[in-house]
Structure 1
Amino acid sequence: MTYAIQPLNPPTLPASTGSYTHGTLVTGARRAVFVSGQVPWDRDEPVPPDFADQCRLTWRNVLAVLAEADMGVRNLASVRIFLADRAYRTINGNIREEVLGDHRPAITIVIATIYAEDWLLEIEAVAVD
Structure 2
Amino acid sequence: MTNIRTINPSTFGPALFPYSQATVAGGFVYIAGQVALDDDNNVVSPGDAYEQTKVTLDRISRVLAEVDGTLEDIVTATVFVPSLDHLPEFNRAWQEVFGDHRPARATVVAGLLIDGLVVEVQSTAVLRQTS
TM-score by length of 2: 0.71
Which residues in structure 2 correspond to 1:1-129 (within 5 Å)? 31-44=27-40, 46-47=42-43, 48-49=45-46, 50-128=48-126, 129=128
Structure 1 segments unaligned to the other structure (5+ residues): 1-29
Identity in percent? 30
Paired residues in the alignment total 100
State the 4+ residue runs in structure 1 displaced beyond 3 angstroms.
none
Q: Specify whether residues 45 and 113 from structure 1 end up closer, same or farther in structure 2 by C-alpha distance, changes over 3 A only.
A: closer
Deviation track 1:38-74 (CA, whole Å, cap 9, x = no partner) reads 0110124732222221111111111111111111121
TM-score by length of 1: 0.72
**Structure 2: distance between partners of 1:69 and 1:84:** 31
**Structure 2: distance between partners of 1:119 and 1:72:** 24
Query: Is contact 2:60–2:71 with CA below 8 Å preserved after alignment?
Result: no
SS in structure 2 at match of 1:123? strand
Between stretches 97-106 and 48-57, larger displacement belongs to: 48-57
**Structure 1: distance between partners of 2:75 and 2:109:** 21
SS in structure 2 at match of 1:58? helix
SS in structure 1 at match of 2:90? helix
Deviation track 1:74-110 (CA, whole Å, cap 9, x = no partner) reads 1111011101111011111111111111111110111
Q: C-alpha root-mean-square deviation of aligned residues, in Å? A: 1.5
Which gives a bigger RCO, structure 1 or 2 (Cα 8 Å, sep 6+)?
1
SS in structure 1 at match of 2:60? helix
